[in-house]
């Protein structure tokens, strides 16, 4: 089944508002909680299906317009059922100038013999901000289906100002790769990826260096600055819900840091505006003084000319 989800968000009267939305079966797009409680918009993708079946294809199209802010949630784990041909999902995201987009979906659980490819193309304006996550499980652990899926391929590309800034390409094929061993899952059953992209990514990295110093018993993680505007974190664990909560904790931390940076930017912009106004006033005063001097000079010249005529 081919399905599509469209979400268009714009900023009006100081708040981010839903301007356009579309969904078809088995998906539904609705407000997450009560609408209008926050300045940003919160939406959730829901599904009436037990999961993704063979030959299913989902296209998600998200557009966050200038200075709008969106948090997008999912309802539950994304289950990939046994397949012969395969299923796919493609997500297009556009975040305009000053926009902020936060999306951390529930983990993907591939059943035995499942085949799935997910591609994500994220287009960011120069000062747009992105918080993005994904979590992959190795299968239905308690059904003894760990590493029994056929093929799982995820690819995420981040473009800033039309230029490729970052690409994350993961292909997992247990039948041809030793993904249970070193440099892959290393005995863990879930892998999480978190991406933060902004012009102030380096500043966030410095904050994380100070904050993420705790070692967890159930999670092994590491993070680095992948490019000038992208910070990536990878985590391994044995509990999908725990990793999901961990990524959302990181997402909220990055969201709060972003709001701080945006407020700081507005304050600096206001200060610059005030300074410009002061400079304009000074220039006006200088012009007035110059004009006053010019008028005085003309009077002196005119007076001298008149007296000269009298003496003559």
Give tens-digit pLDDT for 242-297: 999 999 999 999 999 999 999 998 887 666 666 677 777 777 777 777 777 777 77
Structural contact between residues 244 and 134, judged by C-beta atoms closer than 8 angstroms:
no
Residue 150 corresponds to which tokens in the numbers above? Answer: 């056929």
Look at residue 254 in the predicted model and tell me its pLDDT: 97
Residue 139 corresponds to which tokens in the numbers above? Answer: 């299968």
- End-to-end, the C-alpha distance of the chain in Å comes to 107
Look at residue 62 in the predicted model and tell me its pLDDT: 98
List pLDDT tens digits, range 98-113: 999 999 999 999 999 9
Average pLDDT over residues 157-181: 92
Flag whether pLDDT at 224 surpasses 80.
yes
Flag whether pLDDT at 178 surpasses 70.
yes
Look at residue 309 in the predicted model and tell me its pLDDT: 52
Look at residue 183 in the predicted model and tell me its pLDDT: 66
Flag whether pLDDT at 303 surpasses 70.
no
Look at residue 266 in the predicted model and tell me its pLDDT: 81
Residue 157 corresponds to which tokens in the numbers above? Answer: 């590309």
List pLDDT tens digits, range 43-91: 999 999 999 999 999 999 999 999 999 999 999 999 999 999 999 999 9
Average pLDDT over residues 143-152: 93
Flag whether pLDDT at 305 surpasses 60.
no
| Residue 155 backbone dihedrals phi, psi, to 5 degrees | -140, 125
Beta strands in 13-150 (DSSP E): 15-23, 27-31, 41-47, 57-64, 69-74, 78-80, 87-95, 100-103, 108-110, 115-124, 129-137
Average pLDDT, the chain: 90
Burial of 301 from C-beta contacts in 10 A (0-12 / 13-18 / 19+): exposed
Burial of 296 from C-beta contacts in 10 A (0-12 / 13-18 / 19+): exposed
Look at residue 311 in the predicted model and tell me its pLDDT: 46
Look at residue 180 in the predicted model and tell me its pLDDT: 78
Average pLDDT over residues 204-229: 92
């Amino acid at each position: 089944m081919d399905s599509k989800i469209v979400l268009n968000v714009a900023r009006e009267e100081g708040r981010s508002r839903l301007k356009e939305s579309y969904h078809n079966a088995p998906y539904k797009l609705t407000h997450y909680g009560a609408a209008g409680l926050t300045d940003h918009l919160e939406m959730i993708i829901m599904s009436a299906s037990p999961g993704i079946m063979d030959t299913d294809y989902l296209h998600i199209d998200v557009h966050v317009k200038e200075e709008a802010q969106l948090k997008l949630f999912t309802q539950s784990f994304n289950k990939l059922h046994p397949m012969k041909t395969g299923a796919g999902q493609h997500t297009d995201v556009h975040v305009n100038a000053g926009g902020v987009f936060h999306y951390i979906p529930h983990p993907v659980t591939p059943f035995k013999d499942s085949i799935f490819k997910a591609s994500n193309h994220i287009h960011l304006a120069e000062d747009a901000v992105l918080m993005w996550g994904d979590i992959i499980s190795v299968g239905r652990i308690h059904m003894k289906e760990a590493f029994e899926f056929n093929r799982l391929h995820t690819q995420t590309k981040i473009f800033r100002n039309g230029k490729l800034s970052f690409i994350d390409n993961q292909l997992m094929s247990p039948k041809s790769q030793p993904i249970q061993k070193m440099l892959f899952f290393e005995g863990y059953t879930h892998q999480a990826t978190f991406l933060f992209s902004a012009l102030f990514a380096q500043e966030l990295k410095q904050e994380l260096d100070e904050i993420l110093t705790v070692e967890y018993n159930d999670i092994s993680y590491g993070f680095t600055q992948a490019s000038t505007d992208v910070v990536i974190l990878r985590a391994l664990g044995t509990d999908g819900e725990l990793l999901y909560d961990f990524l959302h904790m990181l997402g909220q931390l990055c969201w709060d840091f972003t709001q701080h940076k945006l407020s700081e930017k507005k304050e600096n912009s206001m200060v610059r505006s005030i300074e410009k106004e002061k400079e304009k006033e000074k220039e006006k005063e200088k012009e007035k003084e110059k004009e006053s001097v010019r008028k005085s000079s003309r009077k002196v010249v005119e007076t001298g000319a008149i007296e000269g005529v009298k003496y003559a």
